Amino acid sequence: MYTAAAVLPDSGSLDQSVYTCRTDPYYSNQSTYILLSPPSQFTLSKSKFSHHGSLYKRAGFEAGLLLSKVPRWLLKRKHPQSFLPVYRVQQKQSTMIIQRIRSILKLLLFFPIAWCIMFYTAPSVRFLIGLIPMDECPLENVKMLALGNSADTDLNLWSRSDVQTCTTWNAPIIWEGMFNPSHYDQIHRSRGSSVALTVFAVGRYLDAYLEAFLKSSERYFMLSLPVIYYVFTDTPEKVPNIKLAPNRKMKVIRVEKHTRWQDISMLRMKSISDIIESDIRHHSTHVFCFDVDQVFTGRFGPEALGDTVALLHAFYYHLPKRLFTYDRNPKSKAFMKTGDFYYHAAVFGGSWKNVKALTEACYKSIMEDKENNVEALWHDESHLNKYFWLHKPSRILSPEYCWDTNIGYRADIRVQRLLWAPKNYDELRTL
């Protein structure tokens, strides 16, 4: 059992008005509180006190207190009659100390909260993230590239020292300044390359984005090659009549309308796989798959073509891997502990054979998750990242090929080829 001792100054200087006396619930019922006054009426065993820290000081109290839990055997009473009823005394000095401690704690808590707020709202912080350096290309010679495009022998991997221009598995990462556009146009025309572009415009997305997407594509997408648009929609009659160039066509495919936008996003993998098998493989050498809520603003040419093509996500390409938003749920087929990069599902492509294999694998994983009542964190994008982790892309596009102006200025983005369109998800996803 313990005794709480409050040591007061000499009785001549004691001003009773400065004390507030009340029972203290902090201590258990087995503790005893005693008020000692004046100090000359008792003695303390200082040698034993030294084992319990600095609990006793004879001087330095201004109508003050020393309130501590002290073993009863440490107290040797000379005058039992001087002990008064049990109370706790609050002192102004101790209150000030508590307030200072609270202020320090608030200050410490402020910094992480402020950092989180600034990251999501302040362009200045995103600008600082852009200063985090990327890895360097490990190759010594361009001939060491795993060539997924016959024109890649002309790439200048060292023209962009500010960014990563190749991967550890010898695939190029395409940035402005690395290639000669006319060289790629000539090579792919001579090889007879052609491109199928797939895009989904379901529900209100058709009215909001499809026309701007198609018109901008006619200005910037694969202008040197034949292109066939495959527009998937639940309302074919509402597809705008866009004037197309002589070497370009459009095909409209009706798809089922789902109540959840997540289902539309994930099940597009099956629709793409089916149309490749039934139509695309007979007409096109390559396939590119796009989200509709984007607008082309610069050249998107044959330099982007390859066997399997992935896109670096604009929000993640400067961040460390531990901050990538892979699916961390072990129950999901999209589960990943780590990866190479974080890829954006808004743009992906490749040869028709490889895109068919990709979409079939992703659809299979999505359906297995659905059977187990699991949904990946970022839906088809999570499954796409898992696929590219297991099957490395032969070509990676820089964030120039799908940029968000909300990120702000980045010195390494010299040209913006495709931009995210403004979005109002509350309205768009109410199907």
pLDDT one-digit tens code per residue, 51-102: 333 333 333 333 333 444 444 444 444 444 444 443 344 455 667 777 778 7
Alpha helix segments (H runs only) across 242-351 = 261-278
Report whether 123 contacts 280 (CB < 8 A): no
Question: d(Cα 347, Cα 165) in Å, to the nearest integer?
Answer: 19
232-244: b or e for each residue (b if 16 or more CB lie within 10 Å)?
A: bbbeeeebeebee
Q: What is the side-by-side order of every strand in the sheet holding 347-351? A: 173-174, 395-397, 308-311, 347-351, 286-291, 195-200, 227-233, 248-254
Report whether 301 contacts 180 (CB < 8 A): no
- DSSP lists the bridge partners of residue 70 as 3
Strands 75-77 and 42-44: antiparallel
Give 315's contacts (C-beta < 8 A, 6+ positions apart). 404, 407
194-205: b or e for each residue (b if 16 or more CB lie within 10 Å)?
A: bbbbbbbbbbeb
What are 276's two structure tokens? 């490749």
What pLDDT score does 88 carry?
A: 43
Question: d(Cα 135, Cα 173) in Å, to the nearest integer?
Answer: 12
pLDDT tens digit sequence for 15-41 = 333 333 333 444 334 333 334 444 444
Domains of the chain: 2-90 (no CATH), 134-428 (3.90.550.10)
Q: How many other C-beta atoms lie within 10 A of the C-beta of residue 127?
A: 14
What pLDDT score does 23 carry?
A: 39
What pLDDT score does 97 carry?
A: 79
Low-confidence ranges of the chain (pLDDT < 50): 1-90, 431
Whole-angstrom CA distances from 200 to 62, 166, 210, 271 are: 78, 31, 9, 10
Report whether 360 contacts 313 (CB < 8 A): no
What are 264's two structure tokens? 């539309």
R_g of the chain, CA atoms, integer Å: 35
Distance of CA 355 to the CA centre of its chain: 27
3-class DSSP assignment, residue 148:
coil
What pLDDT score does 9 carry?
A: 43
Could you give the percent of the chain with pLDDT greater than 70? 68
